[in-house]
Each structure stands twice: as structure tokens, then as C-alpha cells.
Amino acid sequence: MSETIGTPESATCYRHADRRAGVSCQRCGRSICPTCMVQASVGYQCPDCTKQGAKDSPVITVGSLEVQPLVTQVLIALNVVVFLTMIVGGGSIMQTSQSITARYSLFGAGVLVRNGPMRGVAAGEWYRLVTGGFLHSGIVHLGMNMVVLWLVGTQVERALGHARYLALYVASLLAGSFAVMVYSPGVMTVGASGAIFGLLGAAVALQRDRGINPMKSGLGGLIILNVVITFAVPGIAIAGHIGGLIGGFATGWLLFRIERRTGSARVGIAVCVALAALFVLGGVWAAHFYYLHYPNAVLHF
């Protein structure tokens, strides 16, 4: 993800007239040289905006990254461990175990094996709303998701802290699952993309809350690119991506708005938990609705 805004070659630093500027401050747009660049949660700000922003919310600087991205590292590790398990369970690097996919993928309702029992969320397998977000179809699928998770997740986690970040990730994952249950409950869906798109949406809410224009920070361009890929490449779970993006933004927006009024991080976590519960209930409802209206839906595995 791009974190800087290019400046004309002739631009000079607003604080040091004899130094050529490298980037522009994302809050005020003034040109700043490398000496004056202060890294915020995403991108760079000038010293004056950093001081002003500190009155309302903390700003992450290069020398004060006390919050290490431990949750992001754990999430990546879990996805890798699950992927290796799927290989050991009868799959390969390019195509993971179909039996594990059939048992734990996000799936609303249907028959996975000819003449077999009804399976899916509507059949009481609610865990699929979560486990589907940790399965991947192959090494390329896993690799692309984990790279984006690292790039985006580390910055959001450093800005929010471990607990709020984890709560936001889970809510985003479930938002994507809910969207899939509404749009394509009869298709097996796997991947962490819904949760990752949710982090992108939450990052937009975070930047807007801190007075940063997402289109100038590079975040907006990254999201547009990924949305285009979502619709252009066959086989991608469109509902999971878009649902996660919208759900993550909505959760983040509500989280920051309520926290600003209450001044309590615990309230923000409670908001994420409450929305996650609503997404679960919505996913279960959508799966049952699909089952009741399409009782003979069959997916041969």
C-alpha cells in the first residue's frame, strides 16, 4: 500500500526552505522533508499536524511503536497452520484437502455428497461462519491474502491495540460470512478475504476519524484496485469481499464514533462484539431462509 503523496521536484519543505521536500503531509498538504516526516497510523504527517492530532487521538511515530502486531502475526500463523493441515489431510500445495474443505468451509445448506445428509449452517454447523475464513484453496490464494493482511493488519493493529483490533477482525470476518449467506449460501466459500476487506474498510473509517483523506493516503486506490479484481477475476467470492468491506467500515465508524463520545476502549470492543453477534444471527437466518425456499439444493462433492 502506498503511504506517501508525491510532491513536485521544485517543492521545498515548509520548515526548511533549503531542503527539497520528499512527501506532502496527509492532513494539511504542506510539503515536508525527510527530517520533518512523522509516520502516522497510515502515511506521514508534518510535526505541526502531529502535535495537533495528539490532542484528539494518539499518532504512531517511527520511534514509538510500542504496540507490536502480535495479533496479526498469530492470525497469519493460524492460517498457515490450517493450510499445512489441509495438505497433510490429503491435499497439495496447489489444491488443499477437499474433505476438510467440505467439512469446514463456509456453506449455507445443501448436500455435499450424493445422497448424503444435509450439511451447512442451516443444519446447525454454525462454526462454518468462522472456520471458512481460515481455509484457503491453494498456496497462491493463501499467499496473496497473507501479504495484504500483513500490510494492512499491522498498521491497524498498531493504531487500535490488540483487543480492539482482534474484535474488529472477527466482526469483519463475520460480516463477510453474513454477506455470503445472503448472496450465495449454496456455494462452498473459503478464504480470509472477507476479514481482510473488513480491515481495509475499518482503515478508511480510521483515517477519516483522524482527518486523513483515504484517496490521498493511497488507501482508496488500494481498495479500488482490489474491488476491480474482485469483479474481474472469476471464482472470487464477491459477496464476501464487498460484505466484509462494508461491514468493516460500518463497525470501525461506529467504534470510533462511540469511543470518542464515551472515552472508553471497552465500549468500542463491546460494539464489535455486538455487531459480530448480529452478523452470526443474520448468517444463520439467511442460511435457513435459503434451505426453506430451496430444500432440494444439491452441491455434488
Q: Which three cell numbers stand for residue 102?
A: 467440505
CATH entry, 70-293, from 3.30.70.270, 1.10.275.10, 1.20.1540.10, 1.10.510.10: 1.20.1540.10
The pLDDT confidence band at residue 64, using thresholds 50, 70 and 90, is very low
Pairwise pLDDT comparison (233 vs 59), residue with the higher score: 233
From 136, 137, 172, 241, active-site residue: 241
Q: Is 16 among the residues known to form the active site?
A: no
Per-residue pLDDT tens digits for 101-140: 889 999 998 887 777 788 899 999 999 999 999 999 889 9
Q: How far is CA 288 from CA 183, 186, 292, 300, in A?
A: 13, 11, 6, 20
Domain boundaries in the chain?
A: 1-64, 70-293
Residue of 239, 247, 127 lying closest to 180 (CA atoms)? 239
Which residue in the list 193, 288, 293, 300 is annotated as catalytic? 193
Please give the average per-residue pLDDT across 59-64, as a whole number.
38
Please report the sign of the dihedral spanned by the C-alpha atoms of residue 243, residue 245, residue 248, residue 251: negative
Backbone angles phi, psi at 115, to 5 degrees: 65, 15
More confident residue, 297 or 127: 127
What does the mean pLDDT of the chain come to?
A: 84
Summarize pLDDT for 164-175 with one digit per residue, the tens: 999 999 999 999
168 and 248 Cβ atoms separated by less than 8 Å? yes
pLDDT of residue 131: 96
User: pLDDT tens digits, residue range 192-229?
Assistant: 999 999 999 999 999 998 888 988 888 889 999 999 99
Residues recorded for the chain: 301
C-alpha to C-alpha distance for 297 and 121, rounded to whole angstroms: 14
Q: C-alpha 280: how far from its chain's center?
A: 17
Q: Which residue is listed with cell 464489535?
A: 272
* CA–CA dist 195, 238 (Å, integer): 13
Using left for φ > 0, alpha for ψ between -120 and 50, and beta otherwise, residue 124 falls in left
The pTM of the full predicted model, rounded to 2 decimals, is 0.76
* Among 161, 190, 186, 155, residue whose Cα is nearest residue 67: 161
Tell whether the model's pLDDT for residue 14 goes beyond 60: yes
* C-beta of residue 144 within 8 angstroms of C-beta of residue 76: no
Active-site residue 193, yes or no? yes
pLDDT tens figures, 73-95: 999 999 999 999 988 877 777 77
